Amino acid sequence: MFARTIPPLAFCVTGFSWLVLASILGMAPLVGLVHGTPLPTWIRALHVHAVLVGGLAQIILGGFLLLIPPPNSANRKNADSHPFTFWAMNGGLIGMLVGFWLRQYMVVGVGGFVVIAAFLSVIHTVWIRARRTWTFSIKASWYYTLTLFCLVVGSTCGEIMALGFVPESYGYLRLAHIHLVVLGFVALAVIGMVHHLLPTVWNRPLVSSTLAQVGTIVMPIGVALLIGGFLNSSVPIELAGGAILFIGGILWTGSLFRTWLSSPHPGSAASDHLFVSVFFLVFAVILGIFIGANNLSSPPALPYGKLHLMAYTHMTFVGFFMNAIMGAFSHLIPITLTTDRISSHKQRGPYLDQLTTIMNRWRTVQIATVNLGTLGLGILAALTWNVPLTSTYILVASWTSLSFLITGLVIFSVKLTSTVTKKPDQLRTGQISTDELKLTA
């Protein structure tokens, strides 16, 4: 079983499967909170770790392997296989989830150790390849090195917590574990991915690359200040970090927006999801600043409880992370499947067109439902300032938001499955024109 070929694309598809499963599981605590019946804390632990480890981390690390193939490899499909890393990452995660469920934190620690070993294996492979194949500038190399460093350090903090070392520092370790992984690794890595993918999707270089580079340098500084503010429980430091992050985000978004205005690209599922994710990032930063300012007064000017925190974090995760991943998948997976399955450059065009057509189907409905569901979570939280949790308005808002989110995820999952399972032998490759292909798709 462990000798099977596991290409980098398997990490990405498996990671998205974890995201879907974790999203369904994550709806339970929200429903329980709205109905006044809080669920056990281990359900939240399962949801969070399935999203972060099985979903986002696996997709990002798989993306690194996907985008940096082995140098001088004549047949990437056979040469680029990582079975032990794949099974260690997913097997270790399952061990962690079982440990949380049984409240056996030694099991969590052992599973976490296996997961960290898998992370280090991917990082080592990426590092070796990058030194041989990348012609990155110092700024880009520093940026991605920082994200991987945050992943390792944040995961190590979680391992120390699970094994019960230095219990007197548990609170600091928990804050470091969460924010190094979420902000230092996931957020910065996704920003870097969007930064490089959007100009490619638009087939247009950045109008102001200097402005975008300044933004991508400023944003990690803001993230560092934010993490420092959380560790010190200092709202002023958090606000300073949020302000710097906002400035960097505006510079970066401004460069992308100007590029979009000058681009003749007609639009696609990839470009729409990626571009929407950019604005959700800025929106999340602005909301975060308001939340910090709200906490300056005691008591806060506006009540801020578990439901508001849940709405804010999920607006960030779904609005920014999920949109970015769905956009990246819509662009990269058809290209990857075409390259891996068809060796002839002349015969790739029709097959790539067919896969891209599948990923673009129902894109308006898909994008609308995902983002309306995301914004609905914010409306749900805001309603609690005026009506009780038992109100019909709260119930309608919660179920409407969840229905939109489920619809968007189902549509994308069906399209992703159709794309991955569409074999080249189902197409008379190279024998029909692109126009004929679109008519028959």
Task: Tell me the two tokens of residue 162.
Answer: 């699970």
Residue 94 is predicted with a pLDDT of 96
More confident residue, 424 or 62: 62
More confident residue, 165 or 330: 330
Average pLDDT over residues 87-96: 95
Residue 16 counted as domain residue: no
**pLDDT score of 159 more than 50:** yes
Residue 157 counted as domain residue: no
Residue at token pair 């067919």 = 354
CB atoms within 10 A of CB 4: 10
Residue 150 counted as domain residue: no
**pLDDT score of 425 more than 90:** no
Residue 149 is predicted with a pLDDT of 92
Mean pLDDT of the chain: 84
Average pLDDT over residues 366-379: 91
Residue 351 counted as domain residue: yes
- State the burial class of residue 432 (Cβ atoms within 10 Å of its Cβ: 0-12, 13-18, 19+): middle
**pLDDT score of 78 more than 60:** no
pLDDT in tens, 222-265: 999 988 888 888 888 989 999 999 999 999 988 888 888 887 77
- What are the contacts of 238-246 at 24+ separation with CB within 8 A? 238/292, 239/289, 239/292, 239/293, 242/285, 242/288, 242/289, 242/292, 243/289, 244/218, 244/219, 245/218, 245/219, 245/285, 246/222, 246/282, 246/285, 246/286, 246/289
Helix or strand or coil: residue 323?
helix
Distance, CA of 228 to CA of 240 (rounded, Å): 11
Average pLDDT over residues 181-202: 90
Average pLDDT over residues 177-197: 90
More confident residue, 390 or 416: 416
Is the four-CA dihedral 181, 184, 185, 190 of positive or negative sign? Answer: positive
User: How does residue 132 score in pLDDT terms, banded at 50, 70 and 90?
Assistant: low
User: How does residue 430 score in pLDDT terms, banded at 50, 70 and 90?
Assistant: very low
Residue 395 counted as domain residue: yes
Residue 376 counted as domain residue: yes
What's the number of domains the chain is made of?
1
Percent of the chain beyond pLDDT 90?
37
Distance, CA of 269 to CA of 361 (rounded, Å): 8
Residue 393 counted as domain residue: yes
Residue 135 counted as domain residue: no
Average pLDDT over residues 210-221: 86
Residue 72 is predicted with a pLDDT of 59
Across 137-141, 182-186, 276-280, 304-308, least confident range: 137-141
What is the span of the domain harbouring residue 348? 303-441
pLDDT in tens, 31-76: 777 777 777 888 888 999 999 999 999 999 998 888 877 765 544 4
Residue 71 is predicted with a pLDDT of 66
**pLDDT score of 433 more than 70:** no
Average pLDDT over residues 304-328: 87
Residue 440 is predicted with a pLDDT of 36
Residue 37 is predicted with a pLDDT of 74
Residue 139 is predicted with a pLDDT of 54
**pLDDT score of 188 more than 70:** yes
pTM of the model: 0.88
Average pLDDT over residues 10-14: 92
**pLDDT score of 122 more than 50:** yes
Query: For residues 88-123, b (16+ Cβ closer than 10 Å) or e, as one string?
Result: bbbebbebbbebbeeeebebbbbbbbbbbebbebbb
Residue 140 is predicted with a pLDDT of 67
Residue 45 CB-half CA count within 13 A:
20
**pLDDT score of 156 more than 90:** yes
Average pLDDT over residues 396-421: 91
Residue 235 is predicted with a pLDDT of 85
Residue 73 is predicted with a pLDDT of 53
User: How does residue 116 score in pLDDT terms, banded at 50, 70 and 90?
Assistant: very high
Average pLDDT over residues 288-307: 82
Residue 441 is predicted with a pLDDT of 37
